[in-house]
Amino acid sequence: MSAPAPPMGLLAEVTHRCPLQCPYCSNPLELERAAGELDTATWLRVLGEAADLGVLQVHFSGGEPTARRDLPDLVRRAAERQLYSNLITSGVLLDERLLAELVEAGLDHVQLSFQDVETANAERIGGLVGAQAKKRAAAAMVQQAALPLTLNFVIHRQNMEHLPDMIALGTELGAERIEVAHVQYYGWGLVNRDRLLPGREQLEAATAEVEAARIRLKGRMVIDYVTPDYYARRPKACMGGWGRRFINVTPAGKALPCHAAETIPGLDFPSVRDQSLAAIWQSDPAFERYRGTDWMAEPCRSCDRREVDWGGCRCQALALTGDAGNTDPACALSPHHQAMQAAIAAADRATASDFVYRRIGAAPKVEA
Amino acid sequence: MTGPIGDETVPTLGRGVKFRFDDVRQSWVLLAPERLFVPDEQAVEILKLVDGVRSLGAIVDDLAERFKAPRELIQRDVSAMLGDLADKGAIRL
């Protein structure tokens, strides 16, 4: 097999520590504690290896990446190596001094999350009282620093009726870009699926709102829209295909093709503590496992979209069909596709109950 | 975009957008917030002239001269390419 093309992006999950507890967090159910995190020197090495390998953009994420005091040093290394740096933050730990350090270090862009526009609901979802004012202050600081700003709204059954106001907030805060992303149902999101998955009418209203706003704001603001798989006919090209475009490094140093990959049993993911990023990317068996199309079974194997969606998401196939090697059940051609309809019906029937919040040690047993 | 692009329009890279040569791929790349583009050869020649000083008209003149192509044809291609990137937030017109 020839060497794979270099990855475009590095997702650097520098910590799982976070003051927020969003019930759809993309972190794994088993959160890494601070003591298990990679040290600064190792991250600096990894960033250099990423640049050598051909990574173009690095997304500093978490947890809350600003919880790490060495973040400006990591951003500086990224800038030295011409890696485009993106800070994915809740904003609640950001202050003038830290932002100034990050700007001085060469930070390129900030993606700031809001859990809702309505303060009480936002703070209920994020599980942190006082967060909303800090986020607004963070947005103002980013504007003041003349950094490009993206607002990120994760939308779901319990906040999506506020979508018009979310888009208006983006305009008010001077964002060039808004990301409106439906919850993706892995990990914590899957645990809370009945409380989050929208009904069809809600989804259609949100989609229509985004389409209208895109026309209205054309040339002024870009709106990215991530739809929920559960209403899809064909799966998304998850991560642009396994081991094709992205490499993810966890707080403890595990290298993964996607942030949820550790849920897949039988795969032994390598550590950046032991191997270079290049060695991992080019030949690690876990990265080879679902790369390309050789691993596919039917209906993917003979499908003319197999190099469009790459079979969809391995983690979702595992969570909903029990086998990560199956076609993503988001695909209407999957024999397991009815699992999606069943989940929608269950969410429509579910009575309101409190979220299972994302906390260290709070991991419930997942049923799917 | 709010209207047709005129010859006097001065295109610039969007805020936070970088256009650079990538040694690993041996190709030019346009890096923008959470997205990136690998422009084709024609787009690279256009983007190299987007410096925040040259107007669209000047860019078209330069390309028409260097590539010995009809100005109208070049203008159409340049407007379409920059308009598309403007819609994606990578270029400001």
Please name every residue paired with A350 in a beta bridge, in sequence order, or none if there are none: none
Is the Cβ pair B34, A108 closer than 8 Å?
no
Does this model's pTM top 0.80? My answer is: yes
Residue A178 identity: I
**Substitution target from A52, A53, A57, A221 for chain B, most B beta carbons within 10 A:** A57
CA–CA dist B63, A305 (Å, integer): 38
Average pLDDT over residues A20-26: 95
Cβ partners under 8 Å of residue A141, min gap 6: A94, A95, A96, A99
As a whole number of angstroms, the distance between CA B6 and CA B29 comes to 26
Over residues A95-115, the mean pLDDT reads 98
Does the distance separating the beta carbons of B1 and A176 come in below 8 Å? Answer: no
User: Which of A84, A110, A112 best tests the B interface by mutation, with the highest count of B CBs <10 A?
Assistant: A84
A86: tokens are: 């993106």
Q: pLDDT (tens digit, 9 = 90+) per residue, A36-80?
A: 999 999 999 999 999 999 999 999 999 999 999 999 999 999 999
B26–chain A nearest CA distance, Å: 10
Residue A368 has pLDDT above 70, yes or no: no
Q: What is the 3-state secondary structure (H, E, C) of chain A?
A: CCCCCCCCEEEEECCCCCCCCCCCCCCCCCCCCHHHCCCHHHHHHHHHHHHHHCCCEEEEECCCHHHCCCHHHHHHHHHHCCCEEEEEECCCCCCHHHHHHHHHHCCCEEEEEECCCCHHHHHHHHCCCCHHHHHHHHHHHHHHCCCCEEEEEEECCCCHHHHHHHHHHHHHCCCCEEEEEECCCCHHHHHCHHHHCCCHHHHHHHHHHHHHHHHHCCCCCEEEEECCHHHCCCCCCHHHCCCCCEEEECCCCEEECCCCHHHCCCCCCCECCCCCHHHHHHHCHHHHCCCCCCCCCCCCCCCCCCCCCCCCCHHHHHHHHCCCCCCCCCCCCCCCCHHHHHHHHHHHHCCCCCCCCCCCCCCCCCCC
Q: How far is B37 from chain A (nearest CA, A)?
A: 10
Cα separation, B23 vs A54, in Å, equals 8
Average pLDDT over residues A90-104: 98
B18, B34, B86 member nearest A150 (Cβ): B34
The per-residue pLDDT for range A231-283, each reduced to its tens digit, is 999 999 999 999 999 999 999 999 999 999 999 999 999 999 999 999 999 99
Tokens of A278: 């290049």
Q: How far is A109 from chain B (nearest CA, A)?
A: 6
Q: Give residue A359's pLDDT.
A: 87
B88 interfacial to chain A (CB closer than 8 Å): yes
Cβ proximity of A225 and A183 under 8 Å:
no
Which residues 6+ apart lie within 8 Å of A286 measured at CB?
A257, A261, A267, A268, A269, A270
Across A25-34, A67-76, A226-235, the highest mean pLDDT is recorded for: A67-76
Confirm or reject contact between B25 and chain A (CB < 8 A). Answer: yes
Calpha distance A168→A246 (Å, rounded):
32
**Mean pLDDT, residues B50-67:** 95
Are β-strands B35-37 and A57-61 bridged in parallel, bridged antiparallel, or unpaired?
unpaired
- Residue A116's alpha-carbon distances to A92, A125, A151, A163, A256, in angstroms, are 14, 8, 11, 9, 30
Is some CB atom of chain A closer than 8 A to the CB atom of B87?
yes
pLDDT surpasses 60 at B48 = yes
Is residue A350 very low, low, confident or very high in pLDDT (cuts 50, 70, 90)?
Answer: confident
Mean pLDDT, residues B5-24? 93
pLDDT digits (tens, 9 = 90+) for A137-195: 999 999 999 999 999 999 999 999 999 999 999 999 999 999 999 999 988 999 999 99
pLDDT band at A205 (very low <50, low <70, confident <90, very high): very high
pLDDT of A367 higher than 60: no
Contact status of B21 with chain A (Cβ, < 8 Å) = no
Tokens of A197: 């998955």
User: What mean pLDDT value characterizes chain A?
Assistant: 95
pLDDT of residue B2: 43
Give the pLDDT score at B1. 42
How large is the average pLDDT for residues A85-97?
Answer: 97
Task: Report residue A94 as tokens.
Answer: 């950001």
Report d(CA A333, CA A345) in Å as an integer: 20
